[in-house]
Amino acid sequence: MKKVVILGTVLVAATAVVASSFAQQKPLGELVVFNNWSSDAEIGALNVVRNAFQAQGGKWTDITIAHDTGASIPLINMLTGGNPPDVFIESNAGLRRELFKQGLLNDFTAYYNSLKIDKYIPPAVKDAMTVDGKILSAPLAIHIVGTVFWNVAAAKKAGVNPKSWKSMDAMFGDFAKIRKAGIIPLAIGAQKWQLEYLLGSMMVEVSGSLYDDICGLNPKRASIDSKDMRQALAYFRRIQKEADPGSANRNWNDTTALVMRGDALMQLHGDWMKGEFLAAKKKLGVDFDTMLVPGAAGVQVTVDEETFLKPANETKKNSIEALFKIMLTKSITENFSVIKGSTPVRLDATKGIDKHAKLVLAALKKPGFGHPVKNITMDQDWSGAFADLADAFWNTPEMTADQFISQAQGKFDEVFKK
């Protein structure tokens, strides 16, 4: 009951603010919105946007398919079958590039510039919105990959202070002390997708340029065989050697549970871990705490984004521009993120958010620190091949960095044939 009251209060407040700020809005029509969100937090957060749009006179019609039903397949079928939605959650830049080439997507570049909010948008978020110099989507929320959450009581028991670690080597240096206390130092869920994220975290830990060169929209073969790539692989291998025997194929949330119980000190993963702690009534800063990977040169940024088809008429154009503006409104992104447990998409949107979200925004203010996660930018065939190699390297302890690099170069040449 308490949760419903809080959500209702936030939604009413957000709707009132936006309705008053857009009193002179042009007449709006219907938008058909496709999404694959299904959790209470996701739906509650999306309702902040929906209610604000409806408060301006727009009509919002939902098409919802749950996460695990292969949502991209029905979306593509709708896009190509003559009955597409007007708006859909889609972050993959490669798909947006292709749809724009086919003349299907709306270009928001001029409209975005007219809003004069560029100084408030983290560079990594703008990069995620942009394909080949054109803004083709609106951001809803930020999550980061490569965050560390740890158990405060376990740290005290082991006599370590994670915030004192200024580098990966300093972190590794305390592992013996942590083990002596009967605690797993770093819990890892060694599923392929998690390992892919982990290697990405080690790459951006060493060099943001390396991450962009391997996982960006325009990858560079030369960076595969580099000093930075070898250092990232060395960190990845060290973590593999330190992993507990139960890590193989362990779900990420089961790994988080180890940290919550104090069986493990910490987990290095995406910051959606926070939701597991909060659902278990754990308090941030009391029962568990947060930081970026020690000594990180950057961080992977995942951005939930809405993509808009090219409007068929003036009313539709007014409607999609209104929705685009709502998503980038300060009060909306604040209230959205409070409900979803994410980070707002504006640097000045700090009302009501927790210390982790503030940590993320502070980090993303640094030039060149945030990098759109590979799911947004990376060619899908190259991404799949790279994930296979990360998995093979982890599960084949005798595999050398030279072998990884040679195989990665071969896969690169297969995917990007000249």
pLDDT tens digits, residue range 171-186?
999 999 999 999 999 9
How many residues does this entry show for the chain?
418
Return the residue matching tokens 């209104």: 322
Beta bridge partners of 135: 130
Region 275-281: what's the mean pLDDT? 92
Percentage, residues of the chain above pLDDT 70: 92
Region 295-301: what's the mean pLDDT? 95
> pLDDT tier at 25 (50, 70, 90 boundaries)?
low
> pLDDT tier at 149 (50, 70, 90 boundaries)?
very high
Least confident of 38-52, 126-140, 168-182, 380-394: 38-52
Q: Which two three-digit tokens encode residue 249?
A: 């194929």
Q: Which two three-digit tokens encode residue 414?
A: 């297969």
- Looking at residue 66, what is its pLDDT? 62
Is the pLDDT assigned to residue 206 strictly greater than 80? Answer: yes
Task: Give the Cα-Cα-Cα angle 287, 292, 298 (nearest 5 degrees).
Answer: 165
Domains and CATH numbers, the chain: 2-141+305-372 (3.40.190.10), 144-300+373-415 (3.40.190.10)
Return the residue matching tokens 């779900």: 251
Region 37-51: what's the mean pLDDT? 90
Taking all residues of the chain, what is their mean pLDDT, rounded to a whole number? 91
Count Cβ neighbours within 10 Å for each residue of 179-216 and write b for 16 or more, e otherwise: eebebbbbbbbbbbebbbbbbbbbbbbbbbbbbbbbbb
Is the pLDDT assigned to residue 5 strictly greater than 70? Answer: no
What would the pLDDT profile of 221-232 be if each residue is shown by its tens digit? 999 999 999 999
Is the pLDDT assigned to residue 302 strictly greater than 60? Answer: yes
> pLDDT tier at 92 (50, 70, 90 boundaries)?
confident
Q: What is the pTM of this model?
A: 0.87
How many of the other CB atoms lie within 10 Å of CB of 135?
18
Q: Are 134 and 217 in contact (CB under 8 A)?
A: no
> pLDDT tier at 75 (50, 70, 90 boundaries)?
confident
Three-state SS for 255? helix
Is the pLDDT assigned to residue 20 strictly greater than 50? Answer: no
- Looking at residue 65, what is its pLDDT? 75
- Looking at residue 69, what is its pLDDT? 47
Is the pLDDT assigned to residue 246 strictly greater than 60? Answer: yes
Region 342-352: what's the mean pLDDT? 96
Region 143-166: what's the mean pLDDT? 97
- φ/ψ of 82, rounded to 5, equals 90, 5
Cα–Cα nearest to 387, from 144, 146, 195: 195
Is the pLDDT assigned to residue 21 strictly greater than 70? Answer: no
Region 213-227: what's the mean pLDDT? 96
Percentage, residues of the chain above pLDDT 90: 81
Is the pLDDT assigned to residue 4 strictly greater than 50? Answer: no
How many of the other CB atoms lie within 10 Å of CB of 110?
9
- Looking at residue 67, what is its pLDDT? 55
> pLDDT tier at 276 (50, 70, 90 boundaries)?
very high
Region 379-397: what's the mean pLDDT? 96
Q: Are 392 and 398 in contact (CB under 8 A)?
A: no
Local structure of residue 25 (DSSP, 8 states): P
Gap between the Cα atoms of 333 and 308, Å rounded:
18
* Amino acid code (one letter) for 339: I
